[in-house]
Structure 1
């Protein structure tokens, strides 16, 4: 599984986990077959495990929005991207931004990509 596909599946899994009673392992099993790709699993579990930190950082970057008011796909993509920005130092900042925009285009719409780009552009490049 290539990294782009892993991110796509991670968004699907995280989207499914948002406001459900499903466990992480159940959601992973629902989205992908065994054996589970390590990068994909690290994205999903890392985003879930660090969600409080991610949400706190996101709240500081959102202007005139609350996380609860965001459309679910934008919130999911932002959480995944912020997880990577904060905890995945081997991926360049620009790649994370581009991937997030592409995920929004795939799962959301043109406005989703612009909104997510605006939020993520507030993060300083490492």
Structure 2
């Protein structure tokens, strides 16, 4: 499975878990129509990592919402932002621009014009304001 596909499936899993309160194995089964080439290791890494660090991610994410509450933003946007924050906060070897671009592309795919701009703004603010020695 390509990393882009894994990110897309990870957002779908996080959305399912957030909305339907399903367990991780069920969420994975719901988003995988068929077994993807290359396995699901990266998908599992992304979803498990995001869920493991969710309190830290949400705490940091809330600082950059500016006038929004986390619970009030669209569920799919929340899933995209949580995944991007996980990658930015806990995967320092990933290029920041890649994470930002992938998140914006996911928002374009699953949300509207305003959502991808919102996602871009939140992530750009985080990247500009965070200390370079973050985590």
Superposition TM-score, scaled by structure 1 size: 0.93
Match of 1:66 among 66, 69, 76: 69
Match of 1:38 among 36, 41, 45: 41
* 3-state DSSP of counterpart to 1:121: helix
* 3-state DSSP of counterpart to 1:40: helix
Equivalent residues in 2 for 1:33-112, closer than 5 Å? 33=34, 36-112=39-115
Equivalent residues in 2 for 1:107-126, closer than 5 Å? 107-124=110-127, 126=132
CA distance in 2, matches of 1:19, 1:49: 18
For the aligned residue pairs, the C-alpha RMSD in angstroms reads 1.5
Q: Which residue of 2 aligns with 1:8?
A: 8
Superposition TM-score, scaled by structure 2 size: 0.87
Size of the aligned set, in residue pairs, is 126
Q: Deviations over 1:12-37 (max 9, x none)?
A: 11111113231111111221245841
Where in structure 2 are there 5+ consecutive unaligned residues? Answer: none
